[in-house]
Each structure stands twice: as C-alpha cells, then as structure tokens.
A = this chain, B = another copy of it.
Amino acid sequence: MLAAPPLGDRRWSTMLLRPLLLRPLLLRPRPLPRRRDIHAENTARAAVVDSVLSAFRSICGEDGVSMGGAVREQHGRDESVHRCRPPDVVVFPRCVEEVSALAKVCHKHRLPIIPFGTGTGLEGGVGAVKGGVSFSLRNMEQILDLHQEDFDVTVEPGVTRKTLNAYLRDTGLWFPVDPGADASLCGMAATSASGTNAVRYGTMRENVVNLEVVLADGTIIHTAGKGRRPRKTSAGYNLTNLFVGSEGTLGIITKTTLRLYGIPEAMVSAVCSFPSVQAAVDSTVQILQAGVPIARIEFLDDVMIDACNKFSSLSYPVTPTLFLEFHGSERSVEEQVSTTADITQSNGGADFQWAQDVETRNQLWKARHDAWYAAQALRPGCKAYATDVCVPLSRLPQIIVETKKDLIENKLTGPIAGHVGDGNFHCLMVVDPNDPEELHSVHLFSERLARRALAMDGTCTGEHGVGLGKRALLCEEVGPMAIQLMQGLKDTLDPNNLMNPGKILLPREM
C-alpha cells in the first residue's frame, strides 16, 4: 500500500534539524522557480502523459479521457480568484475499481493526481499546480444503501447535496449540511465543509460515518471498515476524520456514508434588523445561551443586505441583520420563536419579518445563498473572494467592527455575511482581477483579518479549507511542531507527494 521512503532520503531528517528556522522562512518572499526549469519539467511530464494515455483509455474507455483545452481549463479552476491551473489530462472513472487502476498508473509514472468534484471550492483546491491528472468523479453518481431506520446513506462522489435531498424527499429524512453551493458530498467531506445549518447539525466532521478512499498507490481502504455504519465507535485511530478536511492530499474519496436527520415537523424563517453589529451578535450569544436549538442564524452587515436587496429585489432595512430559522415540532418552534423574539427585542432588534410557507422561506435562503453573486454584482466585471475566519462567539463584535473599519480605511468593497452561531463569517471581497494593485491590497487585507482572528484564539479558515491561499497562515495558526506532524502524516500516506500536491502544506523548499 504505502511505499517505503527511499532509504537515502534525508529530507525528513534534515527538516528535523531546523524546526526553529521554519517560522522566519515562511515570512520571506517565495523564491520563484526558474522559468527554464519549469519548462523542462512540463515537457518531461507531457511525454509521460502521452505514454500513459492508452492505459487510461483501456481503463475508463475512449470517452473517459480528455485532453481538450476547454475540459482541462474547466478542471483547473474553482470558484475562487486563484488563477486557472489546468491539468495535463482529465479522466472520468465510473467506479472505484477504475479510480484505483488509474491511480496505480499515475503512481507508477509519478504523475500528480487531483480529485475533482463540482469545482465549487473557494481556496484553489483543484488547481494542477504541478500538472498531472484531474480525476473528475462526476460519472460516479450512485446513491447506495439508504437505511431509513438507521438514518444513514452512502453516496458516490458525483452525488451533490441537492440531488441527495431530492432523492430523500419522500422518506421523511434529509441531510442538513449546506455550504450554499450544490457541492458534491464527497467534496464537502474532503474540505470539511459546513455552512448555514452547522450551528444545529454540525459540520461534515460530525456527519461522516465512513469513507471509501483510494490512496496514492491505488490501494482501496474503508476508514471504519467496509460497510460499517455504527453511530459511534472507539475502534482504533479515527481514520475517517483524518480524511475529512484533507482536501484530496491524502487520498481520493470514492464513497461517503452520511448521517441523516428526520425532516422537522415545522420550519419557520424570520428576518430581524438591528441598530448595530454589537446588538445582532449579542442577540446571537444570548439565543444560544438560552438553549434555543436554532437551526440557522446568519448575520448580514449593512453593505451585504443592501447588495442582497438590489440583487434579489428585496426591501429589508439597510442595517445589520439576522436571518433565522427554527426547526422542530409546531409547539417547539413556537416556543423557540417566542424566546428568540424576547431576546432580539431586548437588544433593540426590529419586529421579525416572517417566512413561514416553503416558497417564501426558499426565497429568503436563496437571497442569502446568492450573497456571493449579489456581492459580485456590486462591481460588474469583478470577481468575488471570500475570507473565512472563525473566532469564539464573544470576540465576534470586536472583530467585525475592526474589520469594517479596515475595509473603509483601505477603500475596499467587502460585504460581510456569516454563520454567527459558530463565530464564522466571510468578507465577500469584490476585486478587479486585472488590477494587480487592488489584488495585492485585498491580499494584505485578508492576511490582516486572518491574523486578527488568530490573535482572538480563532482560525484562518472555518469551512473553506487551506488550499493554496492559506498555507503560510496555517503555519502561524498551529505552529511549526504541528506542521511537522501534518507533514509526517502526508509523507506516510503519500511518500511521493502525488496526491493534490502543493495544497495545505507549503513545499519543503519554502
């Protein structure tokens, strides 16, 4: 399964001698590889790719291999501002055996492997920074083994969360984790996604029961044992949560067993405007302290609500706002609403604007999920980049106020939307991708924001992952010793650095 590290390989031991050098090194500007070296590397890899095409085609058919420019472009980018890094070739396996066989070919020829779900990531996770083979998993789209009585289901990587929930509609069950985009569920596991419902139902970390994973050398493993789906286990190391959030750098997730929930008898949504950020966030903390099992509690600042009003033809007051949703029995929802209304009113919140029927509720959450496009519409021709810090609840008012001041002082457009029940919020930075000065200014802003979160016991990424953009920040967040441990795990599972190279961890030379 795992190849032994070459006996003469001194990289690991050399690194051990200089843990204290790691931090200063990270702060230095990156030494750019020489253009000639890159060109030679690309030419050599292109020859290798040519030599394996027939093997790829014999595994997943003529239609299962593409080198077309448009297809490669499409698989080299996600929804972030990270520039497109197309792979050398895209393969479309139809089952885990094909994924394994393709991985074995890549392993033999030392070709990078980049798993691709729906391309809805936000941190450049699918970019082929070292070229290689993009594994598009869209043709693996079976929903397997639904166990209604046990509240679990297993899905292949081509199944998105909306497809699953449509499939489940008549069963009385649903899968609540909702990052906004209609992402692949296996991709959501790979990035440890969460979103609006996490305050009540948890993130992917809490809702993945088992994974089927193809490792770099083609070995197929089941993190909790094949077909197992107990609601809890203490059996050995927690391999499932080692792969959840590993962003394709440790293996390709080819099946995910998920925990399901009963669809609540009643769901009610409401919108509430506040005189200040502090009042909205104080309300959030008090609602949680009161033990209200709120399902969604989303904050939108004045700039964000203004953008949403314009984009979705709404007319909410342009002040800090909470979008709320309550799940439960009719009586329980009634009580949750009443407790929540008492709290918001005591903090100066306005009366609730209701969304009770399915259509109005869907409209409301569509507006929230469209915040991304609403932000982009503020500056036509520009692209959005979402920051993603998460801090303890009590630090939210301070970090949001300081961040809004920073935005104004630096003349940046960055409406704020956040899953405040978790302390997680996003500045949706709208940037002109052709203006390097502005891009640089946004980059500096997002680093300041991340460091502000780190100084408040928080994290630089609550749910988007590290990808390409936050590798240096990750080092600051967890420290050089934890980084070394992460690198050790990576080396153990993928000694040749073939699995989505260049993501999460900085290359050793940097």
- Chain A residues at the B interface, C-beta cutoff of 8 Å: 1-5, 7-8, 12-13, 16, 19, 147, 149-152, 172, 191-194, 198, 202-203, 205-206, 215, 219-239, 241-242, 244-246, 250, 261-262, 264-265, 285, 288-291, 293, 328-329, 331-332, 335, 339, 388, 390-394, 422-424, 454, 457-466, 470, 474, 477-479, 481-486, 488-493, 504-505
Q: In the bound complex, do residue B481 and residue A236 qualify as a contact, i.e. CB atoms below 8 Å apart?
A: no
A458 to chain B, nearest CB (A): 5
Q: In the bound complex, do residue B477 and residue A235 qualify as a contact, i.e. CB atoms below 8 Å apart?
A: yes
Q: In the bound complex, do residue B236 and residue A466 qualify as a contact, i.e. CB atoms below 8 Å apart?
A: yes
Which residues from B are CB-within-8-Å of A483?
236
Complex: A1 Cα to B479 Cα, angstroms: 13
A41 to chain B, nearest CB (A): 27
Complex: A493 Cα to B487 Cα, angstroms: 11
A196 to chain B, nearest CB (A): 13
Complex: A198 Cα to B504 Cα, angstroms: 33
A460 to chain B, nearest CB (A): 6
Complex: A202 Cα to B486 Cα, angstroms: 26
Complex: A241 Cα to B234 Cα, angstroms: 11
A285 to chain B, nearest CB (A): 6
Asked if A479 meets B394 with Cβ closer than 8 Å, knowing A237-B246, A457-B230, the reply is no
A425 to chain B, nearest CB (A): 11
Q: In the bound complex, do residue B235 and residue A424 qualify as a contact, i.e. CB atoms below 8 Å apart?
A: no
- Could you list 22 examples of A-B contacts with CB < 8 Å? A4-B12, A147-B392, A215-B485, A222-B478, A222-B479, A224-B459, A225-B479, A225-B482, A231-B424, A232-B390, A234-B459, A236-B474, A236-B486, A237-B486, A238-B242, A242-B489, A261-B291, A262-B288, A262-B290, A329-B339, A331-B332, A488-B493
Q: Point out the residue from B228, B424, B465, B492 that lies within 8 Å of A457, measured CB to CB.
A: B228
Q: Which of A234, A339, A458 has the most CB of B within 10 A?
A: A234
Q: In the bound complex, do residue A488 and residue B492 qualify as a contact, i.e. CB atoms below 8 Å apart?
A: yes
Which residues from B are CB-within-8-Å of A293?
293
Complex: A288 Cα to B148 Cα, angstroms: 12
A141 to chain B, nearest CB (A): 23
Complex: A356 Cα to B383 Cα, angstroms: 58
Asked if A231 meets B1 with Cβ closer than 8 Å, knowing A150-B392, A152-B392, A290-B262, the reply is no
Q: In the bound complex, do residue A393 and residue B150 qualify as a contact, i.e. CB atoms below 8 Å apart?
A: yes
Complex: A219 Cα to B480 Cα, angstroms: 11
Complex: A12 Cα to B495 Cα, angstroms: 13
A263 to chain B, nearest CB (A): 8
A322 to chain B, nearest CB (A): 17
Which residues from B are CB-within-8-Å of A220?
481
Q: In the bound complex, do residue A194 and residue B232 qualify as a contact, i.e. CB atoms below 8 Å apart?
A: yes
Q: Which residue of B lies closest to A12 (CB)?
A: B4
Q: In the bound complex, do residue A233 and residue B479 qualify as a contact, i.e. CB atoms below 8 Å apart?
A: no
Complex: A37 Cα to B454 Cα, angstroms: 53
Q: In the bound complex, do residue A237 and residue B463 qualify as a contact, i.e. CB atoms below 8 Å apart?
A: no
Q: In the bound complex, do residue B7 and residue A232 qualify as a contact, i.e. CB atoms below 8 Å apart?
A: no
Which residues from B are CB-within-8-Å of A285?
149
Q: In the bound complex, do residue B329 and residue A221 qualify as a contact, i.e. CB atoms below 8 Å apart?
A: no
Q: In the bound complex, do residue B234 and residue A462 qualify as a contact, i.e. CB atoms below 8 Å apart?
A: yes
Which residues from B are CB-within-8-Å of A149?
285, 289, 392-394
Complex: A394 Cα to B290 Cα, angstroms: 34
Q: Point out the residue from B205, B261, B492 that lies within 8 Å of A492, measured CB to CB.
A: B492
Complex: A7 Cα to B191 Cα, angstroms: 35
Asked if A225 meets B262 with Cβ closer than 8 Å, knowing A234-B463, A237-B246, A459-B235, the reply is no
Which residues from B are CB-within-8-Å of A489?
237, 242, 489, 492
Q: In the bound complex, do residue A203 and residue B232 qualify as a contact, i.e. CB atoms below 8 Å apart?
A: yes
Q: In the bound complex, do residue A262 and residue B289 qualify as a contact, i.e. CB atoms below 8 Å apart?
A: yes
A351 to chain B, nearest CB (A): 23
A398 to chain B, nearest CB (A): 12
